[in-house]
Amino acid sequence: GQQLNQSPQSMFIQEGEDVSMNCTSSSIFNTWLWYKQEPGEGPVLLIALYKAGELTSNGRLTAQFGITRKDSFLNISASIPSDVGIYFCAGRGGNAGKSTFGDGTTLTVKP
């Protein structure tokens, strides 16, 4: 089946620093999605990418759909304490009818 490798597994950063995380796969995806999950809550969609090479921003968040369609990255600029959470990438292929999720990147921001 399709597998996603998400890295890093966890990050401990100082408030104000920029953050970068990525997902890679051996499979091609048609859609990349990035979610944030806070404790005890469901994942919330941050950014959706639908085309290879697409670069999309949502406030301080920027994500890109890799041109090979096998990878994507998410950047957070000028991190703040409320950025704390688990960030998941998800790739969606054409036939699977489902999204494959990475294992998540746990972000801790120290004030």
User: Minimum distance from CB of 101 to another protein (Å)?
Assistant: 4
Task: Catalog residues that contact another protein under the rule CB under 8 A.
Answer: 30-31, 33, 35, 40-45, 48, 50, 88, 90, 92, 96-104
User: Minimum distance from CB of 48 to another protein (Å)?
Assistant: 5
The residue (of 1 and 59) whose beta carbon lies closer to another protein is 1
Sign of CA dihedral 41, 42, 48, 52: positive
User: Minimum distance from CB of 106 to another protein (Å)?
Assistant: 9
Q: How far apart are CA 71 and CA 51, in angstroms?
A: 12
The residue (of 55 and 78) whose beta carbon lies closer to another protein is 55
3-state secondary structure of 78: coil
User: Minimum distance from CB of 94 to another protein (Å)?
Assistant: 10
Q: How far apart are CA 41 and CA 20, in angstroms?
A: 23
- Name every residue whose Cβ is closer than 8 Å to that of residue 82 and which is 6 or more positions away in sequence: none
The residue (of 54 and 77) whose beta carbon lies closer to another protein is 54
- Name every residue whose Cβ is closer than 8 Å to that of residue 92 and which is 6 or more positions away in sequence: 29, 30, 31, 32, 33, 98, 99, 100
The residue (of 41 and 82) whose beta carbon lies closer to another protein is 41
